[in-house]
């Protein structure tokens, strides 16, 4: 056994077989290339103790193996077999019968009989010697053995795809951010809900304490709520009201502050004598056509019919423009009908010599998208069109606030309170006019033309707001007032109330 080992070691030394070890096959092959060059022959490739071991031989040493050593059996002349008559040697087993090749030499026959079958790992070492033979059969054997050696060689490790890993990390980070954002949004919503609930409870408790300490404030609050004023405006004025006032003095102070913050047109000469182009806008059924006829009658009485022109844009409502035509016929004024901005431009250009031009617009809901188109048409008509908003006194505070926001546009020249005779309370209209800083021109309290159109009187409107609802004061109990004040915790942060003049 020792002799066999010594013979193998001496054979390896003689053949200059070199061993290379590395953690991976790639590193081991790189060492082989660096040491023996790209033409080195791989003898074996196997894992040993957690590393890869490769036995390799230089290409020059493999070429030297192709020639037999002097004095060996392979160097002796082959025996003659011609004396065997009628004997034809069979082709060796390793010859490829599919290829037409010449008969093997005696040396090749002797070598095939004496040489043992090579190990699979050593097949590649003898590949160059067989490839050097011109016979096609040995070339086919060499290709088969080389393919076998390639299959036995360990596969190279797959290349690391950095772009795929980057994409995966980016997707993971984006998903984590979305999850964190959703959780943060939910948390902020809960905090806002908790804050609102706490503010409502604190406002309720605060008003409850104020009601016990200063009962006159509770009486004033009931008066304002019964008149139609909003809880936020009422709370703001009551908090700003000077202390040590009885109920009568407190009401006089409230009326004075409301009248001071109600902007009205003191003299209609600024409107009628100056003239210009005026457009009455507002929701359906608010009384724009009737109010237009009342203003037209006032203009005719002051300047005559030749100085006035009427325009209607109501081409949708059946008989809408006919109503204004009847008023125009009574007043002796021509009525022009337009459909769009182009027609309005042409009409205003033709009527530029008129002292006053009144435009009756089509009525539409404040939530209709056509409101924006109507405002844009009047703004881009090529003339300075002053818009007068008609506010229905019978509408609620929230509805009137929506109407103002919808028709505000680039700014309103003023407003007209309509249907005053049909309203149970007018505090809602006064509240919106005060908070939206509108200029109240006229009030309309009937259908008669032009009698039922009056200049707005601040003191009269405030006094009427409280007189008309005295019977409704008792509908608010002291126990209900804290609940009604619960949502007014942020009243002092309201931008519409900061400019209210108190003195």
Q: What is the CATH number of the domain that holds 314?
A: 3.40.50.300
Q: Is the pLDDT of residue 486 over 60?
A: no
| Most confident listed range (29-38, 103-112, 405-414, 436-445) | 436-445
Task: Please tell me the predicted confidence (pLDDT) of residue 159.
Answer: 56
Cβ contact 438:432 at 8 Å: yes
Token output for 19: 């061993």
- Assess if residue 47 is contained within a domain: yes
Q: 277-286, 311-320, 323-332 — which is least confidently predicted?
A: 311-320
Cβ contact 145:122 at 8 Å: no
Q: 1-10, 195-204, 329-338, 385-394 — which is least confidently predicted?
A: 1-10
Identify the bridge partners of residue 19 per DSSP, sorted by sequence position: 55
Q: Which of 152, 186, 216 finishes a domain?
A: 152
| Sign of the CA dihedral with 172 first, then 174, 180, and 183 last | negative
Beta strands in 87-205 (DSSP E): none
Task: Please tell me the predicted confidence (pLDDT) of residue 358.
Answer: 92
Task: Please tell me the predicted confidence (pLDDT) of residue 433.
Answer: 92
Query: pLDDT grade, residue 278 (50/70/90)?
Result: very high
What secondary structure does DSSP assign to 309-353, as a single string?
EEEE---SSTTHHHHHHHHHHHHT--EEE--SHHHHHHHHHHTTT
| Sign of the CA dihedral with 230 first, then 232, 235, and 240 last | negative
Task: Please tell me the predicted confidence (pLDDT) of residue 383.
Answer: 82
Q: Which of 152, 172, 193 finishes a domain?
A: 152
Task: Please tell me the predicted confidence (pLDDT) of residue 100.
Answer: 46
The total number of structural domains in the chain stands at 2
433 shares its domain with 293: yes
Residue located via tokens 């009568």? 248
pLDDT digits (tens, 9 = 90+) for 113-134: 544 554 544 444 444 444 444 4
Task: Please tell me the predicted confidence (pLDDT) of residue 489.
Answer: 58
State percent of the chain over pLDDT 70.
66
Task: Please tell me the predicted confidence (pLDDT) of residue 161.
Answer: 66
- Assess if residue 495 is contained within a domain: no
Query: pLDDT grade, residue 323 (50/70/90)?
Result: confident
Cβ contact 296:348 at 8 Å: no
Instruction: Compute the mean pLDDT over every residue in the chain, rounded to the nearest whole number.
Output: 75
- Smallest CA-to-CA distance from 21 within 47, 41, 43 is with 47
* DSSP 8-class letter at 160: P
Q: Is the pLDDT of residue 144 over 90?
A: no
Q: Is the pLDDT of residue 370 over 90?
A: no
| Residue 437 main-chain phi, psi, to 5 deg | 55, 45
Residue 69 makes CB contacts below 8 A (sequence gap 6+) with: 75
Task: Please tell me the predicted confidence (pLDDT) of residue 392.
Answer: 92
Task: Please tell me the predicted confidence (pLDDT) of residue 430.
Answer: 92
CA atoms within 13 A on the CB side of 423: 29
Mean pLDDT of 405-411: 85
Nearest 10 degrees: Cα torsion 388, 437, 424, 235: 170
Query: pLDDT grade, residue 362 (50/70/90)?
Result: confident
311 shares its domain with 442: yes
Higher-pLDDT residue of 108 and 410 is 410
Task: Please tell me the predicted confidence (pLDDT) of residue 366.
Answer: 84
- Assess if residue 171 is contained within a domain: no
Q: Is the pLDDT of residue 275 over 50?
A: yes
Task: Please tell me the predicted confidence (pLDDT) of residue 160.
Answer: 54
CA distances from 21 to 11, 46, 50, 89, 124 (A): 21, 10, 10, 47, 19
Q: 198-202, 218-222, 287-291, 384-388 — which is least confidently predicted?
A: 198-202
CA distances from 201 to 207, 480, 485, 488 (A): 10, 14, 10, 10
Radius of gyration (Cα) for the chain, nearest Å? 54
Higher-pLDDT residue of 486 and 61 is 61
Token output for 316: 């949708």
Q: Is the pLDDT of residue 37 over 90?
A: no
Task: Please tell me the predicted confidence (pLDDT) of residue 132.
Answer: 46
Q: Is the pLDDT of residue 72 over 70?
A: no
* DSSP 8-class letter at 124: G
Task: Please tell me the predicted confidence (pLDDT) of residue 411.
Answer: 82
Residue 335 makes CB contacts below 8 A (sequence gap 6+) with: 310, 311, 312, 321, 324, 325, 328
Task: Please tell me the predicted confidence (pLDDT) of residue 66.
Answer: 56
- Smallest CA-to-CA distance from 412 within 304, 286, 280, 284 is with 280
Residue 416 CB coordination number (10 Å): 23
Q: Is the pLDDT of residue 137 over 80?
A: no
Task: Please tell me the predicted confidence (pLDDT) of residue 131.
Answer: 44
| Sign of the CA dihedral with 379 first, then 380, 386, and 388 last | negative
Cβ contact 229:488 at 8 Å: no
What is the reported pTM? 0.57
Report cis status (omega within 30 of 0) of the bond before 450. Answer: yes
pLDDT digits (tens, 9 = 90+) for 208-226: 556 566 777 777 888 888 8
- Assess if residue 220 is contained within a domain: no
Domain that holds residue 42: 2-152
Q: Is the pLDDT of residue 417 over 90?
A: yes
Task: Please tell me the predicted confidence (pLDDT) of residue 391.
Answer: 93
148 shares its domain with 280: no
Task: Please tell me the predicted confidence (pLDDT) of residue 369.
Answer: 83
- Assess if residue 172 is contained within a domain: no
Residue 119 makes CB contacts below 8 A (sequence gap 6+) with: none
- Assess if residue 440 is contained within a domain: yes
21 three-state secondary structure:
strand
Cβ contact 204:482 at 8 Å: yes
Residue located via tokens 């002292």? 355
Q: Is the pLDDT of residue 499 over 80?
A: no
Query: pLDDT grade, residue 268 (50/70/90)?
Result: confident
Task: Please tell me the predicted confidence (pLDDT) of residue 175.
Answer: 87
427 shares its domain with 278: yes
Task: Please tell me the predicted confidence (pLDDT) of residue 57.
Answer: 81
């Amino acid at each position: 056994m020792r002799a066999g080992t010594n013979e193998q070691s001496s054979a390896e030394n003689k053949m200059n077989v070199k061993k290379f070890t590395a953690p991976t096959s790639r590193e081991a092959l790189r060492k082989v290339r660096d040491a023996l060059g790209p033409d080195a022959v791989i003898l074996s490739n196997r894992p040993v103790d957690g590393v890869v071991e490769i036995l390799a031989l230089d290409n020059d040493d493999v070429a030297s193996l192709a020639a037999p050593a002097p004095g060996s059996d392979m160097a002796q002349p082959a025996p003659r077999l011609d004396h065997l008559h009628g004997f034809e040697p069979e082709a060796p087993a390793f010859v490829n019968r599919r290829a037409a090749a010449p008969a093997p030499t005696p040396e090749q026959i002797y070598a095939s009989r004496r040489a043992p079958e090579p190990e699979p790992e050593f097949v590649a070492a003898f590949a160059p010697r067989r490839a050097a033979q011109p016979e096609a059969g040995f070339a086919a054997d060499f290709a088969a053995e080389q393919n076998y050696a390639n299959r036995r060689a360990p596969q190279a490790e797959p290349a690391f795809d950095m772009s795929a890993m980057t994409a995966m990390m980016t997707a993971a980070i984006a998903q984590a951010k979305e999850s964190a954002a959703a959780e943060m949004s939910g948390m902020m919503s809960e905090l806002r809900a908790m804050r609102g609930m706490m503010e409502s409870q604190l406002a309720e408790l605060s008003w409850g304490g104020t009601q016990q300490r200063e009962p006159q404030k509770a009486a004033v609050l009931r008066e304002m709520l019964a008149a139609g004023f909003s809880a936020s405006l009422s709370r703001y004025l009551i908090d700003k009201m000077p202390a040590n006032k009885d109920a009568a003095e407190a009401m006089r102070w409230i009326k004075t502050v409301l009248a001071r913050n109600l902007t009205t047109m003191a003299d209609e000469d600024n409107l009628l004598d100056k003239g210009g182009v005026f457009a009455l806008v507002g929701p359906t059924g608010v009384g724009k056509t009737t109010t237009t006829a009342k203003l037209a009658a006032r203009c005719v009485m002051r300047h005559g019919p030749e100085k006035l022109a009427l325009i209607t844009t109501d081409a949708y409502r059946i008989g809408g423009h006919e109503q204004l035509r009847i008023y125009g016929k009574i007043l002796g004024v021509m009525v022009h009908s337009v459909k769009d901005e182009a027609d309005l431009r042409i009409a205003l250009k033709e009527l530029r010599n008129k002292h006053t031009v009144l435009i009756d617009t089509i009525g539409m809901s404040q939530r209709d998208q056509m409101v924006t188109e109507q405002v844009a048409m009047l703004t881009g008509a090529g003339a300075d069109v002053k818009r007068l908003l008609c506010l229905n006194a019978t509408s609620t505070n929230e509805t009137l606030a929506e109407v103002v926001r919808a028709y505000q546009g680039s700014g309103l020249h003023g407003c007209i309170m309509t249907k005053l005779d049909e309203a149970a309370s007018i505090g809602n209209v006064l509240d919106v006019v005060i908070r939206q800083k509108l200029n109240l021109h006229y009030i309309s309290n009937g259908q008669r033309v032009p009698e039922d159109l009056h200049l707005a009187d601040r003191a009269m409107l405030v006094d009427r707001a409280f007189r008309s609802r005295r019977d409704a004061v008792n509908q608010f109990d002291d126990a209900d007032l804290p609940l009604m004040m619960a949502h007014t915790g942020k009243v002092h942060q309201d931008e519409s109330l900061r400019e209210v003049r108190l003195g």
